[in-house]
Each structure stands twice: as C-alpha cells, then as structure tokens.
Copies of this chain bind each other. A is one copy, B any other.
Amino acid sequence: MSANNPLVSDRNVEFLLYEVFDAEALCRLPAYEEHSRETFDLVLQTARKFAREVLFPTYKAMDEAPAHMEGGGIKVHPLMKQLFPKLVEQGGVAMTRPHEVGGQQLPHTVATLVALYGMAANLSAVSYIGLTAGAAHLIETFGSEALKAEMMTRMYSGEWTGTMALTEPHAGSSLTDVKTTATPTAHGYHMLRGNKVFISGGDQDLTANIVHLALARIDGAPPGIKGVSLFAVPKLRVQEGKLVANDVQCAGAFHKMGWRGIPSIALNFGENDDCRGWLVGEPHRGISQMFQMMNEARLMVGMQGIATASVAYHEALEYARTRPQGRPLGSKNPSRPQVPIIEHADVRRMLLRQKAIVEGSLSLGVQAARYADLAAHAATPEERRRAFLLLEMMTPVVKSFAAEKGFESNALAVQVHGGYGYTSEYLPEAWLRDQKLNSIHEGTTCMHSMDLLGRKVVADQGGALRLLGDEIGVTVRRAAAAGLDAGLGSAIERAMALVGEVTMGLASLGLGGRVEEMMRHSVDYLDMFSTVVISWQWLLQAAVAREKLAGAPSAPSAELYEGKVCTAEYWIKTELPRVDHLAQLCRSGEDSYVRMNPGWF
C-alpha cells in the first residue's frame, strides 16, 4: 500500500461540503445551531487522522486473517480488539443522534463524510459501529422506555453492539417468507425460534453483549409481509441483574471474499426453547419499521462502495504518477527514459473514469445526506416532505450505483497496476473483492431497481420525479450562468425529459395491471436513471468550479476546479449518451429474456 494514499481527497471533501452543499447553512436550522464550520472541521480532522494513522494500517492484516468460529463463537482479529474502543471513542455510534440520547447531533451531511474516511481505511472495522448505530436507532424510534434504558443506551455508548437479523436460509431476499416464530408469554417478552443467515457482526468477542434486531412472526399472525414483527433479541439477557445466555447460538461463519474483518454468520434462536425477544414497536409492523434501518444501511453500503472505490482510485493514481513504463506514442526512441504511466492516454482514461465514478457518486451521497438532514429538520413541513421524497428516490441510486460502477472502478484500479494489481502484494485486488459484496447485501441491484421504478419515482403521483426535474433545472440554469458549455446542461435536461417520458409509459403499464412488462427492464431503468442523476451531480460540481475559477483562485484550487470541469465534460459526453439506448430498451419492452424458456439455456 502506498504511504501517500489519502483514502479520500481532503480538498474534494472541503469542496463538496462548503462550496457545493453549503453545510454551514445547516447551522441556521435549530437542530444544528450549536454547530459551525469549526466543529465540522474538528470532527473531520480527527476522523482523517484516525483513519490514516490507525485504521488503514490494520486493513491488510484483517483481510488476510478473517474473523472466524472457535469454540462455538466468533473470534475477531486481535487488531479489532484494539480498534473497537477507539472507534467508540471517536463517537461514531451516536454521531448524528440528538444530545438527549448521548449523541453529537451532527448533520448527516457532515457525518457522512466523517464516516467515509473510516470506511475507506478499513470498511469492516467501521461497520460494527454503523450496524450498532442503526440497530440502536430502531429502538430509539420504536422501542419502549424500558428497552431504551436497557439496550439503546448501552449500544449508543458502545458497551454493546447491534445487528439486523432479517435473512433466513430459505428466503434470502424474500422477507414475506420469514419463518422465525415468536410465542407470547405472560412476562412481557416472546419466545423466539428460528434460523437467520448472513448476519453481519452476528457474533464477536469485542463487547459484553449483542442485540439482534430480528424479524419474526407472532403466533397466529397473518401470512406474508403484514404478519412480520420486529424484536430485540439479545445474545445475553439481563436476569436478576446479571447477563445470562439467551439461547442465541452462533451456527457458523460464512467465508466471504470481502469485508473479511467483520463476520457474517448463521444464528439459531431458541434451539433449547429459551430464547427471549422483546417486541419493538407494534405487532405486524416489523417490515415497515425495519425500513428505517434498511434505508440507513443502504445509504451506508452505498457510502462503503464509494469509499472502497475512492481508496483504490487514490492508490492507482499514486501508482500511475510514480511507475515509469513505456514511452509516448510517436516518440518511441528506446534510448530515452521511460515515462510515468499517467502519461499514457489509456491510463489517464482509466483514472478519469475512476474519478468520475468516485467523485460523482460521492457528490450524490452528500446530496442525499443533505436531503436526510432537511427531511428531519427543515423549517417547514413542505420542505421536509420535499427532501424526504428526494431522499427516498436517491437511496437506491446511491446504493446501487456505488456497488455496480464502484466495482468497475475497482477493477480499473487493478488494471492500472498491471500484473501487480492482481497480486496481494498490492491492495487493489482486496478492495475489488470487498466491493463485490455491495451489489448483493442490503438488497440486490435488481431489488433496488424495482424499488426505484415501482415505488420511488411514482411516489406522490409522479410528484417525486418532478421534484428531481426541478432540482436539475436549477443546476442547469446555474451552469449556464457560470459560463459552462451550454451543451452539457441541455444534454442533461433532454435526458431527464426522456426519463420522464419512459417513466410515464412504464407507470401506465403498471396502472393497467401489466406489472411484469413495466418491470421487465427495471435494471436498465435504474442504470439510465442513475446515469442522469450522476450527470446532474457532475454538472453541479462543474458549475461551482467554473464560478470559483472566475474568482482567480490559488493554483492548487484552480487545479481542482479545472479537474472538475474536465471530468464533468468526460462523464456527460461519454457516459450520458448511453441513456438513449437504455430508454429504448425500457420503452420497447424488448422481451428476449422473457421468451427465453428455461429449457433453452
């Protein structure tokens, strides 16, 4: 690994936070009035230093020796035991939560970027924190005061960790088929029985206890998704003031190609009929309540994908700047010295594509975080509603774009390293392995495409999509005013109009009961939609950069701004045109894979 790898560009974070998304303006909202640029910078600076000096040096060792089963439980990497208390001390668990539950009440806009450094440095290590935060937040929102006092406070303080326990062996993505049962008792808890798989952090030897936020069916519940309830199922329960075993068995660890520092395990509840779970919120509302954590987890996975692409991009960039090989086309004199490979056009193409993916998706990630802040704390209900709809629509894009294009970006980082790239003497191959999980866990890309097309863009009778059109319109006018090539903005507006037409056409198929036809090209739809959204984010960044360039910036800032404009041109000219073909596929209802009889394969 390169000692010069910054993981994430500080200057780009500053650009996004203060120049593009005006994080300081958030401090005018009552929820964030105690914050200022100074507190933001302080938290960021601490996170950077910790990520670079403490977390990053542990990554390779944790990848090479994964957490594993031993004596009926999981042993994490010894380094993880040193890291965990430090991660807790950094305040990651309750960073965005209100003061009254012990949090720092930091805007998501800032917290997302703070977390990004840790994710880029060692994604598995920080995900113990992220999962605990999400699980505790579920109890905070839906749990009883008793649960909050007993569990949530210990989770926010890092004394215990938390997980989400949804998936079962027979029904990976099909939550309607959850079979774990919950039998009521007269004592205020339920007896749980069932099997869960792919539970990240489902066991560890880091903390005294773990609270699983688990889906189960109360006896007699209606079939399907409307009969699923949410329970807090601790590994150890408090009984007579002591922690005693709660019949939660660790049944085995999966051997994963990536994210190897945090175990993914199979859990059995109630093998000895002694597993107690406490209902969180209302009976049969488990899925809709769990969506709070699922949405947070989706954005988190999206940011993990961006972080993983970012660290690899910076590694490739450093390699390309320092590795001499070959000579420019047209001046092949072998007696001249070789040039750094960044001088070769195709290496620059691969780097520019990585930059476009990393910084384009990061901009969207911060945009989404800002919507999250406004959805919770904007001044008026209208503003909150508007931000909520936009956040909902961006969530599948952040998650899936980072996973799919991030994987392409990580593969390019391997390619830039040549033969060294596929060896574990260098890190890009490990990050490529990490990235591959992100298109599957927290919902596959197909599921997110159906979420986007079937729910999000049609929300509010198409109002959500119109809101996005408005946002894009504002950016296009700003770009024109800043003096950017008008062709860039008009290409995006044309593409967005096309998205609107395609969406109308597909929605009317759905309204006519032709749901299968509507959804047939949902993955192409997601690809098209994401391409337009990322193009919008690039136009926004380029518009800001062009405005700043007009103000005679310092030389290093000018380089950043020039790079932003050039990358925006690259993406909009070379990637956005794919939208036409994707729209055509969505509209034509091209049906080869529908007609393809299973026997024809």
Chain A 392-427: CB-based contact to B (< 8 A → 1; otherwise 0): 000000000000000100010011001101111100
Does A194 sit within 8 A of B, measured CB to CB? no
CB distance from A224 to the nearest CB of B (A): 3
Which residues of B have CB within 8 Å of A317? 601
- Chain A contact-residue range equals 35 or more
Contact partner of A574 among B559, B590, B595, CB < 8 A?
A: B590
Question: In chain B, what residue has the closest Cβ to A404?
Answer: B411
Alpha-carbon distance A197/B594, docked complex (angstroms): 49
Near B by CB (< 8 A), chain A positions 424-444 give 424-425, 429, 432-433, 436-437, 439-441, 444
Residues of B contacting A329 in the complex (Cβ-Cβ under 8 angstroms)? 515-516, 519
Q: Is residue A219 contacting chain B, with contact meaning CB distance below 8 A?
A: no
The CA-CA distance from A439 to B577 in the complex, in Å, is 26
A39 at interface by CB-CB < 8 Å:
no
A261 CB-CB contact with B under 8 Å? no
A578 to B580 CA separation, bound complex (whole angstroms): 10
- Using an 8 Å CB-CB cutoff, how does the interface string of A589-600 with B read, 1 for contact, 0 for none? 010111111111
- The stretch of A44-52, A99-107, A128-136, A165-173 that contacts the partner chain: A165-173
Does A142 touch B at the CB level, under 8 Å? Answer: no
Whether A176 is near chain B, meaning CB under 8 Å from some CB there, is yes
Residues in B neighbouring A560, C-beta threshold 8 A = 600
Give the CA-CA distance A109 to B429 in the complex, in Å: 35
Complex CA–CA separation, A52 to B336 (angstroms): 52
CB-based contact A592/B570 at 8 Å:
yes
Min CB–CB distance A264 → chain B (angstroms)? 8
Interface pair A415/B445, CB less than 8 Å apart? yes
Contact of A432 with B436 in the complex, beta carbons under 8 Å:
yes
Question: Which single member of B333, B418, B436, B446 contacts A429 (CB below 8 Å)?
Answer: B436
B334 touches A176 (CB 8 A): yes
Contact A352 B177, beta carbon cutoff 8 Å: no
Residue interface mask A307-351, B partner, CB < 8 A = 1? 000000000010001001111111011110010001111101101
Question: Is residue A189 contacting chain B, with contact meaning CB distance below 8 A?
Answer: no
Check if A225 is an interface residue, CB within 8 A of chain B. Answer: yes
Q: What are the residues of chain B within 8 A of A332 when measuring CB–CB? A: 176, 224
Contact (Cβ within 8 A) B176 A600: no
Q: Does A566 contact B (CB under 8 A)?
A: yes
Bound-state Cα–Cα, A359 to B177, Å:
36
Residues of chain B with a CB closer than 8 A to A601's CB: 317, 351-352, 355, 563
Residue from B225, B440, B563 within 8 A of A415 (CB atoms): B440
Residues of B within 8 A of A173 (CB): 325-326, 418
Minimum distance in angstroms from A562 CB to a CB of chain B? 5
Complex Cα distance, B450 from A169, in Å, reads 49
A330 → B minimal CB distance (Å): 5
**With the chains together, A198 CA to B594 CA distance in Å?**
45
A105: min CB distance to chain B, Å: 35
Contacts of A349 in B (CB 8 A): 523, 593
Copies of this chain present:
2
Closest Cβ of chain B: how far from A132's Cβ, in Å? 21
- The segment from A144-152, A235-243, A249-257, A381-389 found at the interface with B is A249-257
Given A520-B345, A585-B574, are A325 and B592 neighbors across the interface (CB < 8 Å)? Answer: no
Cα of A177 to Cα of B335 in the assembled complex, Å: 9
- The answer to whether A440 and B411 touch across the interface, beta carbons within 8 angstroms, is no
Across the interface, which residues of B come within 8 angstroms of A519, CB to CB?
329, 345
Interface centre among A321, A324, A429, A601 (most CB of B within 10 A): A601
A171-B325, A330-B516, A338-B174 known; A411 vs B436 contact (CB < 8 Å): yes
Task: Report B-chain residues with C-beta under 8 Å of the C-beta of A597.
Answer: 559, 562-563
Q: How near does chain B come to A80, taking the closest CB pair, in angstroms?
A: 20
Q: A424-B257, A593-B570, A601-B317 are in contact. Are A177 and B419 (CB under 8 A)?
A: no
Contact indicator A255/B592 (Cβ below 8 Å):
no
Given contacts A174-B338, A255-B425, A258-B422, whether A590 and B562 have CB atoms under 8 Å apart is no
- Whether A592 and B567, one on each chain, are in contact in the complex, defined by CB atoms closer than 8 angstroms, is yes
A566 CB contacts on chain B under 8 angstroms: 592, 595-596, 600
- CB atoms of A436 and B419 under 8 A apart: no
Cβ-defined contact, B425 with A440, below 8 A: no
Which residues of A, 272-327, contact B by the 8 Å Cβ criterion? 317, 321, 324-327
A255-B424, A256-B422, A355-B601 known, 20 other contacts, Cβ within 8 Å: A170-B324, A174-B325, A176-B332, A177-B325, A177-B326, A223-B335, A254-B419, A255-B423, A257-B422, A258-B422, A330-B513, A330-B516, A343-B598, A344-B446, A346-B446, A419-B441, A422-B440, A429-B436, A432-B436, A574-B585
- Please, could you name 17 A-B residue pairs with CB atoms under 8 Å apart, sorted by A? A167-B419, A171-B326, A224-B332, A225-B334, A255-B424, A317-B601, A329-B519, A346-B523, A348-B593, A349-B523, A352-B601, A415-B439, A415-B444, A421-B440, A574-B585, A577-B581, A577-B584
**A-side interface residues toward B, CB under 8 Å?**
167, 170-174, 176-177, 197-198, 223-225, 254-258, 264, 317, 321, 324-330, 332-335, 338, 342-346, 348-349, 351-352, 355, 407, 411, 414-415, 418-419, 421-425, 429, 432-433, 436-437, 439-441, 444-446, 449, 513, 515-516, 519-520, 522-523, 559-560, 562-563, 566-567, 569-570, 573-574, 577-578, 581, 584-585, 590, 592-601
Closest 7 CB pairs of A and B: A563-B600, A224-B334, A570-B592, A346-B446, A255-B424, A257-B429, A348-B593
